[in-house]
Amino acid sequence: MAKVEFRRVRKDFDGQVVIPALDLRVQDGEFMVLLGPSGCGKSTLLRLLAGLESVSAGEIVIDGRVVNDLSPQARNVAMVFQNYALYPHMRVRDNLAFPLRMRGMKRAEIERRVREAAGVLGLEALLDRRPGELSGGQRQRVAMGRAIVREPAVFLMDEPLSNLDARLRVQIRTEIAALQKRLGTTTLYVTHDQVEAMTLGQRVAVMEAGRVQQVDDPLTLYREPANRFVAGFLGNPP
């Protein structure tokens, strides 16, 4: 069964069609990358799935259930943003614990989850620091930690590496791949970077102007691009 399904999803902003009618299925445990140029609708798609925007038409399905009318909290997805969105005045441990406290979770369970996420991400020694005392890479790890502690059904990552320098990008990219292997959580990962998409994605959905042009594993995309756009965008023009 698909973990996530977009069924003929449309999104308009002020009468402008941004996504006309999109179908996409993400399998349980899959790491899928949404790849496309700036402005093609990648972030909008994640925001629709997270419930931060509502669809103009069509259905969004998680675990077989139509979630169109569910609040973001009720959807059991966790989003990692490109600009971290950490609380600057809170220590790392409180940044991690915050989403759980908001849910009224018991203290012992919160502590267990924070410890586990810190272990997975190598943040143990940084738990008492504040975001201003961390490097860019460490901040990005905390942002991921805040998604992990929620143990969501789906991770959504919107260009999580775009604020990092080239060296850190490679390092965190490797960590994200390892994390996905270890946790096995279904992930939808947005990027405009072909290298990132091809190295991380089990499958890659190539988008242009609100439409999915092709969904395939990286090798197939290179060898058998469905059209000129896909071939050109992957730097492999016919």
Positions that interact with ligand ADP (CB under 6 A) = 13, 18, 36, 38-44
Asked if residue 214 binds Mg ion (CB under 5 A), the reply is no
Residues 6+ apart with CB under 8 A from 145: 92, 95, 96, 117, 118, 120, 121, 123
Distance of alpha carbon 54 from alpha carbon 49, whole angstroms:
9
- Indicate the residue among 93 and 173 with the shorter CB distance to Mg ion: 173
Give me the least distance between CB of 51 and ligand ADP, in Å please.
Answer: 14
Which residue lies nearer to Mg ion by CB, 114 or 164?
A: 164
Q: Which region, judged by CB under 5 A, interacts with Mg ion, from 41-49, 87-95, 116-124, 214-222? A: 41-49
18 binds, among Mg ion, ligand ADP, none (CB under 5 to 8 A by kind): ligand ADP
**Shortest Cβ 34–Mg ion spacing (Å):** 10
Q: Report if residue 43 touches Mg ion, rule: CB under 5 A.
A: yes
DSSP annotation string for 29-93: T-EEEEE--TTSSHHHHHHHHHTSS--SEEEEEETTEE-TTS-TGGGTEEEE-TT----TTS-HH
Q: Is 158 left (phi over 0), alpha (psi -120 to 50) or beta?
A: beta
138 contacts Mg ion (rule: CB under 5 A): no
Minimum CB distance to Mg ion, residue 42 (Å): 5
Please identify, using beta-carbon distances, which residue of 130 and 211 lies nearer to ligand ADP.
211
Q: In whole angstroms, how close is the CB of 35 to ligand ADP at the nearest point?
A: 10
Residue 103 C-beta: closest distance to Mg ion, Å: 28
Residue closer to ligand ADP (CB basis): 123 or 161: 161
Question: How far apart are CB 154 and ligand ADP at their closest, in Å?
Answer: 18
Give the Å distances, CA to CA, from 96 to 76, 127, 131, 134, 218: 17, 9, 12, 14, 34
Binding partner selected for residue 41 from ligand ADP, Mg ion, none, CB under the kind-specific 5 to 8 Å limit: ligand ADP
Work out the burial of residue 71: count CB atoms within 10 Å of its CB; fewer than 13 is exposed, 13-18 middle, 19 or more buried.
exposed
Q: How far apart are CA 227 and CA 224, in angstroms?
A: 9
For binding to Mg ion (CB under 5 A), which residues are involved? 43
